Homo-oligomer: A and B are copies of this chain.
Amino acid sequence: MLSNHIQNGIGMASLAWSRLPGTEEAEVHDEADLASTSCGNGVESLDYEVIENYAYREEQAQRGKLFIGFYVAMKWFLALLIGIGTGFAAIFINIAVENFAGWKFSATFSIIQTSYLAGFVVYILFNLVLVFSSVFIITQFAPAAAGSGIPEIKGYLNGVDAPGILLFRTLIGKILGSIGSVGGGLALGKEGPLVHTGACIASLLGQGGSTKYHLRSRWLQVFQSERDRRDLVTCGCAAGVAAAFRAPVGGVLFALEEVTSWWRSQLMWRVFFTSAVVAVVVRTAMAWCGSGKCGHFGSGGFIIWDISGGQEDYSFEELLPMAFIGVIGGLLGALFNQLTLYITRWRRQYLHKKGNRVKIIEVCLVSLISSAISFGLPLLRKCSPCPESEVNSGIECPRPPGMYGNYVRFYCAKDNEYNDLATIFFNTQDDAIRNLFSAKTFHEYSAQSLLTFLVMFYTLAVVTFGTAVPAGQFVPGIMIGSTYGRLVGMFVVNFYKKLNIEEGTYALLGAASFLGGSMRMTVSLCVIMVEITNNLTLLPLIMLVLLISKAVGDAFNEGLYEMQAQLRGIPLLESRPKYHMRNMAAKEACRNQKVVYFPRVVKVAEVVSVLRSSKHNGFPVVQGNRETLVIGLILRSHLLVLLQSKVDFQHSPLPSDIRGGSIPIRHNFSEFVKPVSSKGLSIDKIYLSPDDIEMYIDLAPFLNPSPYIVPEDMSLTKVYNLFRQLGLRHIFVVPRPSRLIGLITRKDLLIEENEDPATMELQSTSVRPHRRDRRVLGRDSEAEHPLLNGLLVQD
Contact = CB atoms under 8 A, between A and B. Distances in A.
Contacts of A740: 595, 597, 620, 630, 732-734
A94 interface: no
A273 to B, nearest CB: 6
B790 A28 contact: no
Given A578-B753, A582-B19, A721-B27, A544 B729 contact: no
A654 to B, nearest CB: 18
Interface string A728-766: 011111111111111111111111110000011011001
Nearest to A352: B795
A335 interface: no
12 contacts: A11-B585, A30-B721, A31-B718, A584-B762, A590-B744, A591-B778, A594-B790, A598-B791, A630-B736, A723-B744, A726-B726, A735-B739
Contacts of A392: none
B741 A712 contact: yes
Q: How many copies of this chain are found per oligomer?
A: 2
B713 A737 contact: no
Interface in A757-795: 759-760, 762-763, 766, 775-776, 778-780, 783, 786-795
Nearest to A618: B743
Interface in A555-592: 569, 571, 573, 575-592
A540 B279 contact: yes
Interface in A646-693: none
A58 interface: no
A610 B791 CA distance: 9
Given A543-B248, A722-B726, A748-B589, A731 B711 contact: no
A231 to B, nearest CB: 14
A527 B718 contact: no
Contact of A715 (B589, B594, B631, B706): B706
Given A609-B794, A628-B739, A37 B575 contact: no
A708 B730 contact: no
Interface string A1-30: 000000100110011011100010101111
A281 to B, nearest CB: 10
A709 B706 contact: no
Contacts of A308: 308
A480 interface: no
Residue in A302, A593, A790, A792 with the greatest tally of chain B CB atoms within 10 Å: A790
A722 B791 CA distance: 24
A269 interface: yes
Contact of A791 (B15, B599, B724, B778): B599
Contact of A580 (B249, B269, B759): B759
A778 to B, nearest CB: 8
A617 interface: yes
A630 B739 contact: yes
A413 interface: no
A744 B749 contact: no
A422 interface: no
A133 interface: no
A714 interface: yes
Contacts of A618: 743, 745
Given A28-B576, A252-B523, A779-B591, A585 B734 contact: no
A523 B249 contact: yes
Contacts of A273: 547
A122 interface: no
Given A283-B540, A791-B40, A795-B352, A523 B718 contact: no
Contact of A713 (B266, B279, B706): B706
Interface stretch (A185-193, A453-461, A528-536): A528-536
A705 interface: yes
Interface in A33-57: 35-41
Contacts of A583: 15, 19, 762-763, 766
A610 B790 CA distance: 10
Contact of A786 (B36, B38, B569): B38
B763 A629 contact: no
Contact of A18 (B263, B582, B709): B582
Contacts of A590: 741-744, 748
A159 B746 contact: yes
Nearest to A533: B536
Most buried by B among A273, A527, A713: A713
A791 B578 contact: no
A725 interface: yes
A232 to B, nearest CB: 18
Interface string A394-432: 000000000000000000000000000000000000000
The 7 closest A-B pairs by CB, nearest first: A590-B742, A276-B543, A40-B792, A706-B714, A734-B737, A18-B582, A37-B747
Interface in A247-297: 248-249, 252-253, 256-257, 263-266, 268-269, 272-273, 275-276, 279-280, 283-284
Contact of A41 (B530, B577, B762, B794): B794
A113 interface: no
Given A609-B795, A610-B794, A15 B715 contact: yes
A435 interface: no
Contacts of A726: 721-722, 725-726
Give the interface centre of A25, A27, A36, A275 by most chain B CB atoms within 10 Å.
A27
A348 interface: yes
Contact of A303 (B7, B249, B537): B537
A719 interface: yes
Nearest to A631: B736
